[in-house]
Amino acid sequence: MTGGVAHDEFDPSRRDALAAAGLVTGTTTVRLTPQGRTRLGDLLTAERAGADTAVLADVYRGFCAVNADFKAVVTDWQLRDGRPNDHTDTGYDAAVIARLDRIHGRVIPVVDRVTAQLPRLASYRVKLEDALRHIHGGDRQWFTHPLIDSYHSVWFALHEELLVAAGLTRTGEARAGRAD
């Protein structure tokens, strides 16, 4: 992620070294310092310099084509007939999950394509597949829960990564009608 790292993924000795260098702060929740943000920006710029910008732009367009359908699925997961979905209708939920499966099949090639340009993004495929596995295992919080690497949380972080990789901003995309 460009904005932070989940605590369970962060090596404490690495965190301590980055803190000593003035790049991060915190122990439970690690946050970038202003100096850390500058360093991250430099690293992301260097990373993009080694990538094909036309491919990154095309990858982002491909993601946007799937994103609209994903947002509709999330809405249908959370709401039913304009009211909060209480998830008591297993048939309805199964149909929404089937739609998520189809979206997953469409987004994985996008993730694989960006990973060919930016290998560090490979973890998004793993995280999306892990969340989907939890959903199919019956743990429905893995669809949209904000405090875990739910499908929605990972999708949102992937969207951020693709924006940065394509040299775009959420504000610019919002003006263009493509931001979440």
pLDDT per residue over 68-121, tens digit each?
Answer: 999 999 999 999 999 999 999 999 999 999 999 999 999 999 999 999 999 999
Q: Where are the domains of the chain?
A: 7-47, 52-175
Q: How far apart are CA 35 and CA 49, in angstroms?
A: 21
User: Which residue stretches of the chain have pLDDT < 50?
Assistant: 1-8
Name the residue with tokens 């999708």: 155
Token pair recorded at residue 175:
């003006």
Q: What's residue 99's pLDDT?
A: 98
Q: What's residue 142's pLDDT?
A: 98
Number of C-beta neighbours around residue 174 at 10 A: 11
Q: What's residue 179's pLDDT?
A: 63
Number of C-beta neighbours around residue 51 at 10 A: 15
Output the pTM of the full model: 0.84
Q: Which residues contact 60 (CB under 8 A, 6 or more apart)?
A: 162, 163, 165, 166, 168
In sequence order, which ranges of the chain are alpha helices (DSSP H)? 12-20, 34-49, 53-78, 90-117, 123-136, 141-144, 151-165, 170-175
Q: How far apart are CA 106 and CA 7, in angstroms?
A: 30
| Secondary structure of residue 12 in the 3-state scheme | helix
Q: Are 143 and 153 in contact (CB under 8 A)?
A: no
Q: What's residue 20's pLDDT?
A: 93
